[in-house]
């Protein structure tokens, strides 16, 4: 989450012109909300939120609907397949997709620990993912 906060701070301090510097009512290490607070302490604005959650167990991946759900360091997650499957409920409402899920990163791991991510990459339809079209197969040949 620290990478995300660095980028937000850059935007808030370095972008003049059309951007107003937003004061956030919720501004903690794992949760920020884009909003303004007036003199009467009334909150207004876009109200967009970023929340960082640790989901070391798939059952922790529950809650509200989301527009974007990122599985960072997906290759290092031994429970990736279960968590990704369960997260379908967070991006769908009444059978209609309202959000997207993104898996990326290996966490520096190699070999067998990347088996689930590799399985998802080469069988995207099974996981309701958009395929990444590339020129290489599993044997690294064009």
The string of pLDDT tens digits covering residues 107-124 is: 777 788 788 888 888 888
Total-model pTM: 0.63
Q: What is the mean pLDDT of the chain?
A: 79
| DSSP codes joined into one string, 38-103 | -TT--EES---EEE----SSGGG--SS--SEEEEETGGG-TTHHHHHHHGGGGSEETTEE--EEEE
The string of pLDDT tens digits covering residues 66-107 is: 888 888 888 888 888 988 988 888 888 888 989 999 988 887
Q: Which carries the bigger pLDDT value, residue 51 or residue 96?
A: 96
Distance of CA 46 to the CA centre of its chain: 19
Query: Rounded to whole angstroms, how far apart are CA atoms 89 and 56?
Result: 18
What share of the chain has pLDDT > 70, as a percent? 82
pLDDT of amino acid 100: 92
pLDDT at 9 over 80: no
């Amino acid at each position: 989450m620290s990478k995300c906060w660095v980028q937000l701070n850059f935007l808030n301090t370095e972008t003049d012109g059309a951007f107003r510097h937003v004061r956030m009512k919720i501004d903690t290490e794992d949760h920020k909300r884009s909003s303004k607070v007036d003199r009467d302490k009334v909150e207004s604005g876009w109200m967009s939120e970023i929340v960082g959650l640790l989901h070391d167990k798939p059952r922790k991946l529950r809650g509200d609907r989301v527009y974007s759900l990122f599985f960072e360091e997906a290759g290092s997650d031994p429970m990736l397949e279960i968590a990704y499957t369960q997260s379908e409920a967070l991006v769908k409402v009444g059978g209609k997709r309202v959000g997207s899920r993104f898996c990326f990163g290996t966490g520096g791991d190699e070999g067998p620990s990347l088996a689930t991510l590799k399985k998802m990459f080469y069988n995207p339809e099974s996981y309701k993912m958009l395929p990444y079209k590339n020129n290489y197969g599993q044997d690294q040949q064009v």
